[in-house]
Structure 1
Amino acid sequence: MIDILGIAIAFITTMLLFSVLVTAIVQFVQQLFARKHLGLVNGMSKFAAAITEIESGFNGKKFLLQVTSGIVIKKAQYVDFDKVREVYHLLSVDKPITDVRLQQMFEQAEDEMRTVFKRQMDKISICVAAIIVLLMQLDAFALLNRLSVDNDFRQALVQQGQSIQQKAEINQSPSLSAIFQKVNLDFSDKYSALYPSLEALKQQQKNTSAEAISAFEQLVRQLPSVSDKQVQVLLMEYQAALEQGIAQVQQQATSFSLEQYRSLSKFGFQVLPKKSIDYYLSLQTLLGLFFSVILISLGAPFWFNTLKSVVGLKDTIALKHETGKGGKPG
């Protein structure tokens, strides 16, 4: 009897390993070419142009420079509305745009930036997946066929999938909100004796860097007897702590990705395996490569959740089978 669930787990494991590799490369490309910063500059350029249409003579270039400049990092990757409003009021003379209208324009620009960035990352992911599939000749149809006839190969991948699922559940990278909460706790413990109001940091839970920094800045500016210079120093230290926490998580994720990549060689997945040019001339092979690209592009989270579900299903069936055997009369 064909081990359908075993084949499914082995196939999903393979897709997961390759998806993790794609994700790691895409993140590297994103950081190498500062894609977030470029997207921010493009979106804020359109935002500045929209302000200029309403307020002629507005210095859009200076606005763009001040809004997209980072405090700690050289290239800002995000910007919050408080900073936009502050720079706008600094540069605007007549101030014909109300804060409510300005926020509406900013939120619209932010939505457009998020949509454009996601679309660009999706395109990059598909391109990276296609390159990897071609270089490593990952044919989805050939893989399924081998899994159905090669018991040792299938069992090895099944064990790898179960191992990944167990390790990932235990060693999952903390969420951004968890990172921000840890930084808030550290700052509260460090400065609450000097600034008792910073105890409020322990209660703050934010999901993005922009929200965390904005909330921290608002809290610090309410502290009594704190100069603007002290506010900037605290803000720089806080943002540096956030960036360090995020960098550590990214490093952990990259290490995990490289670990999975190294494990691919154990199953015979190599760059440019020795095959003739006729390999690429088969319609079935081209279709298999095409489906591999599509499947890998679904992303590591999708395949991990699918792996978790199928492994759980197999364990449930195995448990029922053992229970049924034990319940039979002797």
Structure 2
Amino acid sequence: MLNTIDTVIAFAVIMTVLSLLITIVVQMVSAALSLRGKNLANALALTFQTIDPQLQEQAHSLAAQILRDPIFSDSAWRPKNRQLRGNAATQAQAMVERAVKNLQVAEAQLKAAGNTDIAATARATARRQQAGKALENAQQQLQAAQQAGNMVEDLKVTPNRAKPWGIFSKLRDATALGSAIRPGEIYRIVHEFADLTKTEAAVRDVCPDVVDAAKSLLACLVKPDQPAEESRTKLRVIAHVAKVFPPDQQKAVVDSLANLGATVERATTQAYDRFQRWFGSAQDRAEQWFQTHVRVVTILCSICAAFVLQLDTADIYRQLRASPALTQGLAKAASSVIEEGSKILDPNNAPAHKAYLQLAEKHPEQALSVSLPARTPDEYRQALNAQLTANNVSPEEAKVLLEDYDRLYKSAVEKFEESSREQVERLRKTASEAGFDFLPVNFLGRWDQSTESNLHGWLRLRRQMDHTFSHLFGILATAALLSLGAPFWFNLLKNLTSLRPAL
């Protein structure tokens, strides 16, 4: 009985080590392919299209423009400043257009103030005078730039991606996409895009279709949606029915209605409230798609590992049964593998959590009041933002703290990658000391016979392929077992090691 348990433990050790190595590779691949950023971009684009069905390619362009903004981009190669394009005359022309637009707004506010509210009229008059002076200064800068020989340029902006992102599509562009963003940030930057003039957009490297898409999106958000319309109709019916009762009983009748507060809330939702609700759905879709893509990458890595390392499940089991020393060595290594596995699979070792712990150590007064069930960077940012709002932290100070978290997160990612490489080496060393060779002595030569060592070229490759096909079902079985994932094998190994002393 003990021999059988030791054999199963040894087999579980091999599978656990391989699964942990695959987990590390999958984490690196998902980061290299920017899977989280791509899925977030696709989810945002789909959300924009749902809010405004008229947006098609423009929705993907708007999502890409938002996520590759320097303040949201995760890429180390993306410039962390908003450099203006064009010469001095072009930038001055953008300032003139902005000043004209501000002057028009100020004149409209002055006209709306009228003569009834003296204080409001005074404030509107001051804003109009300020806008007029800004226009004069901008015109002077434009004239000076033109006198210096600069002419206003017709800048061309490179179009953004106008279709959904795939797993392997445009890796260089995908690395510029941010992997986390808050709804308030999206709403603010969409308003900024919608307010840009033609020259301002070109100077800021914003596509014209992005400006049009932002305007169309905001126009749709202003319109009440179906839940709001139905809730308003319901409130009108409630008000009509309540009039049937005497005035002293109307309040009691209304208070007795179930879900009245939710109905009032839906009926009074504004544009930002509706966008927040849609963004919550987008986050859920992005996370689901990301997990699906990670699962696909895990299966592909499992298949590649099984074929490249030539691991036949039946062959491994026969080897363990025939070599008690190998079985005992792997069984003794189980504790070391469990220790390394707990570090790799522990959510508290994730870069997002490490960055939060460092931020909480620097600013203990802003620590989260409750621990998070999830460990994604975006969820930590969301929770921190909510905590800062609850603590009455000013928007400027909150922005600084969240930017500090972003810097700590990027530093934690670099340390995590370095730690992953060290863990790979320790796992390989543990298995090697136990006596099991994960890597064949010769590439694709695990089952080479002694008489085949002198074969070269096509003859050697043909023999290696013959060996592989003869072990095909065992290799596919290994790939299927590895695709179960590291958590499955890790938990199985822990259960088996805890069961052995009882036998």
TM-score (norm 1): 0.79
Give the partner amino acid of 1:235: L
- Quick one: distance in 2 between partners of 1:153 and 1:291? 22
Post-superposition offset of 1:221: 6.0
**Mean CA deviation greater in 219-228 or 245-254:** 219-228
Separation of aligned partners in 1, 2:335 and 2:393:
57
Aligned to 1:61: 61
Counterpart check, 1:127 vs 2:295: no
Q: Which has the higher contact order (CA 8 A, sep 6+)?
A: 1
The answer to whether the Cα contact below 8 Å between 1:188 and 1:202 also exists between their aligned partners in 2 is no
- The residue number in structure 2 matching 1:268 is 437
Counterpart residue type for residue 178 of structure 2: A
- CA separation in 1, counterparts of 2:63 and 2:18? 43
CA distance in 1, matches of 2:420, 2:380: 22
> What are the Cα deviations for residues 232-274 of structure 1, in whole angstroms up to 9, with x where unaligned?
3332112211332354345324421332134444412214252
Alignment CA distance shift 1:162-1:76 (3 Å): same
Please name the residue that 1:80 is paired with. 182
Structure 2 matches for 1:223-238, cutoff 5 A?
226=394, 228=396, 230-238=397-405
Q: Is the 8 A contact 1:280 1:286 kept in 2?
A: yes
Structure 1 vs Structure 2 CA RMSD = 3.1
2:496 counterpart residue number = 310
The answer for the alignment partner of 2:285 in structure 1 is 112
| 1:109-134 alpha-carbon deviations (Å, 9 max, x no partner) | 22222222222222211111111111
Give the counterpart of 2:369 among 194, 200, 203: 203
The 1:172/1:32 distance shift into structure 2, 3 A limit, reads closer
> 1:159 maps to what in 2?
332
* 5+ long unaligned stretches in structure 1: 190-198, 318-330
Contact 2:37 2:178 in 1 (8 A): yes
1:88 Cα deviation (Å)?
4.5
> Counterpart of 2:492 in 1: which secondary structure?
helix
How far apart, CA to CA, are the structure 2 residues paired with 1:184 and 1:89? Answer: 31
Offset of 1:287 from its aligned partner? 1.1
Further displaced range: 266-275 or 23-32: 266-275
Q: Are the counterparts in 1 of residues 72 and 180 from structure 2 also a CA contact under 8 Å?
A: no
Residues 368 and 383 in structure 2, CA contact (< 8 A), matched pair in contact too:
no
Partner secondary structure for residue 203 of structure 1: coil
Cα 1:37–1:145 shift into 2, 3 Å: same
Q: Which amino acid aligns with 2:298?
A: S
Q: Quick one: structure 1 residues 254 and 48, their matched pair in 2 at CA, closer, same or farther if it must change by over 3 Å?
A: farther
**1:34 equivalenced with 2:34 (yes/no):** yes
Equivalent residue, structure 2, for 1:322: none
> For residue 20 of structure 2, what is the aligned residue in structure 1?
20
- Aligned mates of 2:394, 2:321 — CA distance in 1: 69
Aligned to 2:166: none
Cα distance in 1 for residues equivalent to 2:60 and 2:415: 36
Distance 2:393 2:14 in 1: 59
Equivalenced residues, count? 304
Partner of 1:267: helix, strand, or coil?
Answer: coil
- Which stretch shifts more, 19-28 or 302-311? 19-28
Query: Counterparts in 2 of 1:183-222, with a 5 A limit?
Result: 183-189=358-364, 199-201=365-367, 203-206=369-372, 207=374, 208-220=376-388
Supply the distance in 2 between the matched residues of 1:38 and 1:27 (Cα, whole angstroms): 15
Amino acid at match of 1:293: A
TM-score, normalised with respect to structure 2? 0.54
Aligned to 1:320: none
Q: Report the 3-state secondary structure (helix = DSSP H, G, I; strand = E; otherwise coil) of the residue aligned with 2:52.
A: helix
State the identity as a percent: 19
Q: 1:59 to 1:296 in 2, by over 3 A?
A: closer
Q: How far apart are the structure 2 equivalents of 1:72 and 1:219?
A: 24
Letter of the structure 1 residue corresponding to residue 32 of structure 2: L
CA deviation string 1:60-107 (max 9, x = no partner): 734542255444633311223333343455545542264443333223
What letter corresponds to residue 493 of structure 2 in structure 1?
A: L
Task: For residue 3 of structure 1, give the secondary structure of its aligned residue in structure 2.
Answer: helix
The structure whose Rg is larger is: 2
Question: Which structure is higher in helix share?
Answer: 1
Residue type at the aligned position of 1:150: S
Q: CA deviation at 1:310?
A: 0.1
- Confirm or deny that 1:298 pairs with 2:484: yes
Distance 1:148 1:36 in 2: 44
The structural deviation recorded for 1:23 is: 1.3
Task: Indicate how the Cα distance of structure 1 residues 205 and 85 shifts in structure 2: closer, same or farther if over 3 A, else same.
Answer: farther
Question: 2:360·2:366 contact (CA, 8 Å) conserved in 1?
Answer: no
